[in-house]
């Protein structure tokens, strides 16, 4: 289908993985000038004695091979272990306004930050300051606020449990629950949807379950790129004869076939392992209806043949079965087919495979969670599993694929804008202060509060807040209104450059680096997607002698803010992470008992996960079937000219960090300015592959929110659907379009209009019709 006329776009026929992946590892190390160090460092990623790979949250196998190979893990490690340095001299050479004209890639490519710096508005430059000065200014900014709720404490999920715990303690001691965090843009529908269903906002499976499943269903995730170590697991399952079904609007290469770079035979013979047995190209945002269609088909099979549902499980362990049966039976096939983009026959095919499976795992990622109705969609996935008792027994369960390597751990230790009463009471009892009870802001709410002028100070523990968030028109303008922004970071990025009155940059150690405090080499701990907590120890020398660890930076801010604090020994905690872990164990009894002993065992320990053992901490005491409430609705709002855009990661990026411009498995090389569209749609609109197009937010009255002069590429994608890369297309994502219950932005279902590129995009939604 691909047309050779489009420069940089050509079909990629090889399997995912294979020699392409090995070549890419070498390339990543050379690009970042880390050939020797990076190579050595890689061998220690996700090994019992090394550091936790910052690439993703997929767990480590029990019997790790000598080298857990992963191309994108290699890129993440090389990115951090680079020899490039963003020194004060570099910042002296460029004003902030000038740096803002650079691409995201160029800004981060300056390299690792080396010294604390503060923005000097007189000169429009960041200039070095001492750590003491940096802490004093941060404390002064916080103490100047009338109300602690005028501060926002953002966290991106790379911080360790120790750093995250101190961070939430500092902010709550200060008096706020304003913890917008990357989870709010990512798996919040999991944290909101799953507790009502199964009593815990986390996955129920362990890695071993994948050895016992005979069916694995993959909804809306792209593991070849984003969880490459999962490919080894899927490949094993496939070779064992397990069935893998993929549900995704795009045909992702790694879900079709994969060659293991660790398999000498596949590498020598250029062979590969097929992954998905069947591929279902669901329409963007159509998953909840698709799954209800599968349930409807299962119920019909049960009525006809019997033996499909697990009645004992349903009776003993669940509530709400009859209501869901009634609602699914009331749904007509026409609605299901229109909403899912799949025919009844295909949905029945998927249901028949599921009906036969003895043990099934259901995995899902951002394709499920970033829509207007994602918490509800997640609950439909659980319904499907409950029908056949597929939670809480070997080889079965639900498996949300988390994003950042410790995003799940951050939430566990308290980074949460809606903390439980139990946790707050425990903080009170352990530390002797009354924590704030009022719920805080999510990411979207934080941006709205900053925009209104209600929030005046922003502290960021990692991440690239403004670039990751929707609608830069509003978000960037909001950041410029801040009295003070304080960013703890490893590398510079655009968010740091959106300065308001005052801004401070605090350079920290990365996961790969040695962390010595008070003469002792410290280790930190992290939690993976499957609730395994284990230790991580960096081994590289720090990128600069001035760097501080994240726990020490947080403690430094706290000590400057609270002075001689009778309740928390901040300087003492900064020098002894065992002492931080002892406090975590006291605040979360049961979960973290004997924390320090347990993380000293290689491989660590698993936190209690009720659903794994069929313990349901829900209001009914059972797993709940939940009726789908379709009010999230179709973002098209009845306008036939409106198309739906899903925004994706390329193979050469880590969220807002762009390593390079290739997306090998999708056959795109040297560019990111493409939009994938259905060929029939293009023909209907009088467009051809290779045409320059503009993409505008469909309901934007101002006409400002337009992605201009991108190239359209024909792809096998359902009609009415478009796909393009994040963050370049975030300008068309509205801050108002988010999951109604969790607030997660609808990054994967933006209503847009596509038209031939033209000089001006007409103002006003009514004028902005589709291409004639
Ligand atoms: N190398 C690398 N690794 C990463 C990251 C990275 O950027 N780079 N990011 C990390 C983070 S924070 C996260 S959250 C994860 C993200 O990992 P993923 O969840 O895999 O992330 P995405 O690339 O956003 O793509 C999701 C997939 O959903 C599909 N999709 C889009 N819309 C729909 C839909 O409506 N329905 C269905 N069924 N599918 C849909 C897309 O085609 C795509 O294949 O990866 C983590 N790991
Ligand atoms: N359109 C669209 N938008 C999206 C998404 C999407 O799919 N589509 N996905 C959303 C998702 S799932 C997520 S998780 C967010 C990601 O949002 P964020 O987590 O905020 O973004 P990142 O790009 O991961 O952050 C990169 C920055 O983190 C800093 N950093 C890296 N390592 C460390 C470290 O060890 N310590 C510290 N302190 N800083 C570090 C570096 O300075 C780097 O510039 O984006 C969201 N935005
Ligand atoms: Mo994420």
The secondary structure of 666-734, three-state, reads: HCECCCCCEEEECHHHHHHCCCCCCCEEEEEECCCCCCCCEEEEEEEEECCCCCCEEEEECCCCHHHCC
* More confident of the two residues 378 and 20: 378
pLDDT band for position 56 (50/70/90)? confident
* More confident of the two residues 272 and 185: 185
Sheet harboring 273-274: ordered strands across? Answer: 16-17, 257-259, 273-274
Question: What mean pLDDT is predicted for residues 587-610?
Answer: 94
Distance 543 CA to ligand 3 centre (A): 26
Say whether pLDDT at 1 is over 60: no
Burial class of residue 772 in the structure, from the number of CB atoms within 10 Å of its CB (0-12 exposed, 13-18 middle, 19+ buried): exposed
Nearest ligand 2 atom to the CA of 154 is 20
The pLDDT, as a whole number, for residue 78 is 85
Rounded Cα gap, residues 766 and 80, in angstroms: 47
Q: Check if 369 has its Cβ closer than 6 Å to any atom of ligand 2.
A: no
CA quadruple 246, 715, 223, 659: dihedral, nearest 10: -170
Q: Whose CA is nearest to atom 15 of ligand 1?
A: 403
For a mutational test of ligand 1's pocket, the pick from 156, 221, 528, i.e. the residue with the most ligand atoms closer than 8 A to its C-beta, is 221
Distance 565 CA to ligand 1 centre (A): 43
Q: Name the residue among 80, 89, 91 with its Cα closest to residue 33.
A: 80
* More confident of the two residues 637 and 237: 237
User: What does the pLDDT look like over 292-344, one tens digit per residue?
Assistant: 999 999 999 999 999 999 999 999 999 999 999 999 999 999 999 999 999 99
Residue pair 724/492 in contact (Cβ under 8 Å)? The answer is no
* CATH T-level fold of 188-400: Dimethylsulfoxide Reductase; domain 2 (3.40.228)
Reported as type and span, the H/E element at residue 598 is helix 595-599
Q: Check if 221 has its Cβ closer than 6 Å to any atom of ligand 1.
A: yes
Q: Check if 250 has its Cβ closer than 6 Å to any atom of ligand 1.
A: yes
Residue pair 754/685 in contact (Cβ under 8 Å)? The answer is yes
Least confident of 33-37, 45-49, 458-462, 607-611: 33-37
Kindly state the tokens that stand for 254: 């790694």
Task: Read off φ and ψ for residue 397, nearest 5 degrees.
Answer: 145, -175
Rounded Cα gap, residues 83 and 443, in angstroms: 33
Q: Check if 529 has its Cβ closer than 6 Å to any atom of ligand 2.
A: no
For a mutational test of ligand 1's pocket, the pick from 250, 403, 659, 749, i.e. the residue with the most ligand atoms closer than 8 A to its C-beta, is 403
The pLDDT, as a whole number, for residue 46 is 66
The pLDDT, as a whole number, for residue 65 is 45
The pLDDT, as a whole number, for residue 674 is 98
Nearest ligand 2 atom to the CA of 493 is 44
The pLDDT, as a whole number, for residue 94 is 98
Burial class of residue 104 in the structure, from the number of CB atoms within 10 Å of its CB (0-12 exposed, 13-18 middle, 19+ buried): middle
Question: What mean pLDDT is predicted for residues 244-267?
Answer: 84
Rounded Cα gap, residues 757 and 747, in angstroms: 23
pLDDT band for position 18 (50/70/90)? confident
User: What does the pLDDT look like over 679-732, one tens digit per residue?
Assistant: 999 999 999 999 999 999 999 989 899 999 999 999 999 999 999 999 999 999
Q: Name the residue among 756, 757, 753 with its Cα closest to residue 642.
A: 753
Q: Whose CA is nearest to atom 38 of ligand 2?
A: 462
Distance 647 CA to ligand 3 centre (A): 13
In the chain, ranges of CATH 3.40.50.740 domains: 94-185+406-575
Q: Whose CA is nearest to atom 4 of ligand 1?
A: 226
In the chain, ranges of CATH 2.40.40.20 domains: 643-756
Say whether pLDDT at 5 is over 90: no
DSSP letter at 625? P
Kindly state the tokens that stand for 477: 């303008």
Q: Whose CA is nearest to atom 39 of ligand 1?
A: 220
Tell me the CA distances in angstroms from 299 to 246, 295, 305, 308, 398, one per residue in order. 22, 6, 10, 8, 21
Q: Check if 9 has its Cβ closer than 6 Å to any atom of ligand 2.
A: no
Say whether pLDDT at 67 is over 60: no
Q: Which residue has tokens 């795109």?
A: 668
Distance 281 CA to ligand 3 centre (A): 23
Q: Which ligand is nearest to the CA of 747?
A: 2
Distance 185 CA to ligand 3 centre (A): 7
Contacts of 640 (CB under 8 A, 6+ apart): none
Question: What mean pLDDT is predicted for residues 117-126?
Answer: 98
The environment of the single-atom ion ligand 3, i.e. residues with CB closer than 5 A, is 186, 403
Distance 242 CA to ligand 1 centre (A): 23
Say whether pLDDT at 658 is over 90: yes
The pLDDT, as a whole number, for residue 643 is 97
The pLDDT, as a whole number, for residue 50 is 76
Nearest ligand 2 atom to the CA of 80 is 32
The pLDDT, as a whole number, for residue 766 is 39
Distance 366 CA to ligand 1 centre (A): 5
Say whether pLDDT at 265 is over 80: no
Is 3.40.630.30 the CATH classification of the domain at 94-185+406-575?
A: no
Check: pTM over 0.85? Answer yes or no: yes
- Written as one string, the DSSP assignment of 394-430 is TT-EEEE--SSTTHHHHHHTT--SS--HHHHHHHHHH
Neighbours of 578 (CB within 10 A): 15
Distance 503 CA to ligand 3 centre (A): 26
User: What does the pLDDT look like over 639-650, one tens digit per residue?
Assistant: 888 999 999 999
Distance 182 CA to ligand 2 centre (A): 7
Question: What mean pLDDT is predicted for residues 503-508?
Answer: 98
Q: Whose CA is nearest to atom 30 of ligand 1?
A: 367
The pLDDT, as a whole number, for residue 771 is 34
Rounded Cα gap, residues 521 and 519, in angstroms: 7
Distance 647 CA to ligand 1 centre (A): 9
Reported as type and span, the H/E element at residue 228 is helix 228-239
The pLDDT, as a whole number, for residue 767 is 38
The pLDDT, as a whole number, for residue 59 is 85
Say whether pLDDT at 634 is over 80: no
Distance 494 CA to ligand 1 centre (A): 22
Q: Check if 554 has its Cβ closer than 6 Å to any atom of ligand 2.
A: no
Whether cis (ω within 30° of 0) applies to the bond prior to 254 is: no
* Core vs surface per residue 333-360: b (16+ CB within 10 A) or e: eeebbebbbbeeebbbbbbebbbebebb
Question: What mean pLDDT is predicted for residues 533-546?
Answer: 93
Rounded Cα gap, residues 624 and 37, in angstroms: 51
Question: What mean pLDDT is predicted for residues 379-395?
Answer: 98
Neighbours of 686 (CB within 10 A): 10
The pLDDT, as a whole number, for residue 631 is 72
Distance 192 CA to ligand 2 centre (A): 21
Q: Name the residue among 565, 564, 580, 594 with its Cα closest to residue 515.
A: 580
For a mutational test of ligand 2's pocket, the pick from 32, 186, 364, 464, i.e. the residue with the most ligand atoms closer than 8 A to its C-beta, is 464
Q: Taking the CA atoms of 237, 238, 242 and 247 in sequence, report the sign of the dihedral they define.
A: positive
Nearest ligand 2 atom to the CA of 404 is 14
The pLDDT, as a whole number, for residue 28 is 67
Q: Integer distance in angstroms from the first to the last C-alpha of the chain?
A: 24
Least confident of 165-179, 434-448, 496-510, 598-612: 598-612
In the chain, ranges of CATH 3.40.228.10 domains: 188-400
Question: What mean pLDDT is predicted for residues 375-395?
Answer: 98
Q: Check if 282 has its Cβ closer than 6 Å to any atom of ligand 1.
A: yes
Residue pair 662/721 in contact (Cβ under 8 Å)? The answer is no
Distance 288 CA to ligand 1 centre (A): 17
For a mutational test of ligand 2's pocket, the pick from 411, 470, 490, i.e. the residue with the most ligand atoms closer than 8 A to its C-beta, is 490
Q: What architecture (CATH level 2) is domain 643-756?
A: Beta Barrel (2.40)
The pLDDT, as a whole number, for residue 695 is 96
Least confident of 57-61, 259-263, 593-597: 259-263
The pLDDT, as a whole number, for residue 54 is 80
Residue pair 455/446 in contact (Cβ under 8 Å)? The answer is yes
- Written as one string, the DSSP assignment of 7-76 is TTB----SPEEHHHHHHHHHHHHHHTT-HHHHHHHHTTBTSTTSB--TT--PPPPSS--SS---HHHHHH
């Amino acid at each position: 289908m691909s047309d050779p006329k489009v420069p940089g776009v050509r079909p990629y026929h090889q399997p995912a993985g294979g020699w392409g992946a090995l070549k890419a590892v070498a390339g990543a190390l050379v690009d970042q000038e880390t050939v020797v160090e990076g190579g050595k460092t890689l061998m220690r990623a996700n090994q019992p004695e090394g550091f936790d790979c910052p690439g993703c949250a997929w767990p480590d196998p029990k019997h790790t091979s000598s080298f857990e190979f992963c191309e994108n893990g290699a890129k993440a490690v090389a990115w951090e272990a680079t020899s490039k340095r963003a020194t004060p001299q570099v910042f002296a050479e460029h004003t902030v306004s000038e740096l803002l004209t650079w691409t995201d890639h160029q800004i981060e490519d300056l390299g690792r930050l080396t010294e604390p710096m503060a923005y000097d508005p007189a000169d429009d430059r960041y200039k070095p300051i001492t750590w003491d000065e940096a802490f004093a200014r941060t404390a002064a900014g916080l103490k100047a606020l009338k109300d602690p709720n005028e501060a926002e404490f953002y966290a991106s999920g790379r911080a360790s449990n120790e750093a995250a715990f101190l961070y939430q303690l500092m902010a709550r001691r200060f008096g706020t629950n304003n913890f917008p965090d990357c989870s709010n843009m990512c798996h919040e529908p999991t944290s909101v949807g799953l507790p009502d269903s199964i009593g815990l906002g986390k996955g129920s499976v362990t890695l071993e379950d994948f050895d016992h499943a005979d069916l694995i269903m993959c909804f809306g995730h792209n593991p070849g790129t984003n969880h490459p170590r999962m490919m080894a697991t899927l490949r094993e399952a496939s070779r064992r004869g397990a069935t893998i079904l993929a549900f995704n609007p795009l045909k992702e290469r790694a879900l079709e076939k994969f060659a293991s770079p660790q398999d000498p035979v596949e590498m020598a013979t250029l062979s590969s392992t097929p992954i998905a047995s069947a591929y279902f190209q669901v329409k963007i945002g159509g998953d909840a209806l698709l799954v209800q269609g599968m349930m409807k088909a299962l119920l019909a099979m049960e009525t006809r043949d019997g033996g499909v549902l697990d009645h004992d499980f349903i009776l003993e362990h669940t509530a709400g079965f009859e209501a869901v049966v009634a609602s699914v039976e009331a749904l007509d096939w026409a609605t299901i087919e229109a909403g899912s983009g799949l025919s009844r026959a295909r949905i029945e095919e998927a249901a028949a495979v599921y009906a036969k499976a003895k043990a099934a795992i259901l995995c899902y990622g951002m394709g499920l969670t970033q829509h207007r109705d994602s918490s509800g969609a997640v609950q439909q996935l659980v319904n499907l599993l409950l029908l056949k008792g597929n939670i809480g027994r070997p080889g079965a369960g639900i498996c949300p694929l988390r994003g950042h390597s410790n995003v799940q751990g951050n939430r566990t230790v308290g980074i949460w804008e809606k903390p439980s009463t139990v946790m707050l009471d425990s903080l009170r009892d352990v530390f002797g202060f009354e924590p704030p009870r009022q719920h805080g802001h999510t990411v979207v709410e934080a941006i709205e509060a900053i925009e209104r002028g209600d929030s005046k100070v922003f502290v960021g523990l990692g991440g690239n807040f403004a670039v990751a968030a929707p609608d830069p028109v509003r978000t960037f303008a909001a950041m410029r209104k801040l009295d003070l922004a304080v960013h703890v970071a490893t590398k510079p990025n655009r968010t740091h450059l959106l300065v308001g009155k005052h801004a401070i940059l605090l350079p920290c150690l990365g996961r790969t680096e040695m962390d010595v405090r008070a003469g002792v080499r410290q280790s930190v701990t992290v939690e993976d997607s499957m609730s395994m907590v284990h230790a991580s120890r960096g081994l590289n020398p720090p990128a600069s002698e001035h760097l501080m660890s994240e726990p020490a930076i947080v403690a430094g801010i706290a000590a400057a803010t609270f002075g001689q604090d009778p309740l928390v020994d901040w300087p003492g905690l900064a020098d002894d992470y065992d002492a931080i872990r002892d406090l975590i164990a006291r605040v979360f009894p049961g979960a973290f008992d004997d924390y320090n002993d347990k993380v000293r065992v290689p491989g660590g320990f698993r936190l209690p996960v009720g659903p794994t053992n069929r313990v349901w901490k829900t209001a009914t005491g059972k797993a709940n079937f939940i009726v789908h409430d379709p009010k999230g609705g179709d973002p098209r709002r009845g306008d036939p000219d409106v198309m739906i855009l899903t925004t994706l990661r390329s193979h050469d990026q880590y969220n807002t960090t762009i390593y390079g411009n290739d997306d090998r498995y999708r056959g795109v090389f040297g560019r990111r300015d493409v939009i994938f569209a259905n060929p029939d749609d293009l023909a209907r609109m009088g467009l051809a592959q290779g045409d320059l197009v503009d993409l505008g937010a469909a309901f934007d009255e101002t006409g400002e929110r337009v992605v201009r002069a991108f190239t359209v590429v024909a792809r096998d994608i359902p009609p009415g659907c478009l796909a393009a890369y994040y963050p370049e297309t975030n300008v068309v994502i509205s801050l108002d379009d988010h999951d109604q219950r969790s607030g997660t932005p609808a990054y994967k279902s933006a209503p847009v209009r596509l038209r031939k590129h033209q000089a001006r995009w007409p103002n006003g939604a009514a004028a902005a019709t589709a291409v004639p």
